[in-house]
Amino acid sequence: MALPMRGHARLRIILTSFCRVAGIRRCSTTSNDTQDDAFPKRIFSGIQPTGIPHIGNYLGAVTNWVRLQEASQQDEVIFCVVDMHSITLPQDPQQLKNNIYDMVACLLACGIDPKKSILFQQSAVQQHAELAWVLGCITTMKRLGHLPQWKTKSAKRREGVCVGLYTYPVLMSADILLYKATHVPVGDDQIQHVELTQDIARVFNNLYGNFFPRPQVLFSEVKKVKSLRDPSSKMSKSDSSHLSRIELTDTDKEIHMKFRKAVTDFTSAVTYDPDRLGVTNIINIHSAFTGITPDKICDDVKNLTTAEYKKVVADAVIENLTPVRDEITRLQQEKHYIEDILKLGADRARTIAMETYNDVKKLVGFL
């Protein structure tokens, strides 16, 4: 059932004003705004349980999730730990379970509030897989083959490439459409997947009527955090060097050490220059954690060398992350609490998912 028009207007105003204040851009390839207004506004996003997030995850995704949560009402924002996506690569079962707990602990510590948003584990809601099958049956192999992620990941695994690695974008579309999400906060590297979701929704709607919204992208203006060891690449958990990233549970000593060893160049002055990838990356991190503009930072530290400036940035990061790190450590000892949060979230998510999928079954002829 659609929200009253006042509900549409309220969340549209929230999204517009929030995006302007928080530095989040709205992006959509949908040209028909009237079609979009036919659905209640709802935000969905997921994160893989890769263990403790790094500051790239924190700045690029999680802090924005918290802001969106605070600007919305209950059940308008849904966050999912997408454990089904993680098994497209080999996983140790016990490690995966631990990673799920760690990810939930981190999200809670960062400010995700299960009373204000829905937080749950993907595999606990079976309708994700069921809807993915239906959507896979209307998606062509040619369309999936065009996705750059498939080309990149399959090239790295020439032997034993699994079917799931090829079809997981359809599952991602099912994740979004199962809740009839109208807005999806993602990074730049995931825009193609949201565009695929828009395409799948269009195909389904052409076959069965105007059932799914075509979700819009919400993504942050925060500069993408780069690797501390290779500033031409983004910060990533898959990087073999632990020095490449700052994780949310790193100690003060580890943070200082990683910034001290961060790759810069042979110029000692601190300048915001796109040709100086390493220094620019560190300035962007400093700016994201403090809210100070890069130009103001450079003016403030003009008498410091790059080595001295790295210590300033490390101190700023430590100041911001210490309460988060302490809360993560506490929550990691409360596994029963995390299990309760996930169960409650799955129950709430399942209520929405069952309604959507039951309607899908009627439309396609299962019922």
Residues 314-340 as b or e (16 or more Cβ within 10 Å = b): bebbbebbeebbebbeebbeeeeebee
Catalytic residue at 234?
A: yes
Catalytic residue at 151?
A: no
* C-alpha to C-alpha distance for 22 and 40, rounded to whole angstroms: 22
How many CB atoms sit inside 10 A of residue 4's CB? 10
Q: Please tell me which residue in 41, 180, 234, 258 is annotated as part of the active site.
A: 234
Q: Please tell me which residue in 223, 224, 237, 335 is annotated as part of the active site.
A: 237
Catalytic residue at 41?
A: no
* C-alpha to C-alpha distance for 291 and 285, rounded to whole angstroms: 10
Residue 248: both structure tokens together: 């949310």
Q: In the chain, which residue ranges form alpha helices assigned H by DSSP? A: 5-22, 33-36, 55-57, 63-70, 83-86, 93-110, 127-136, 141-145, 148-156, 163-177, 191-208, 252-260, 277-290, 294-300, 306-331, 335-364
Q: Please tell me which residue in 153, 223, 224, 335 is annotated as part of the active site.
A: 153
Taking the alpha carbons at both ends of the chain, their separation in whole angstroms is 20
Answer whether 236's CB lies under 8 Å from 51's CB: no
Q: Point out the residues that are catalytic.
A: 153, 234, 237
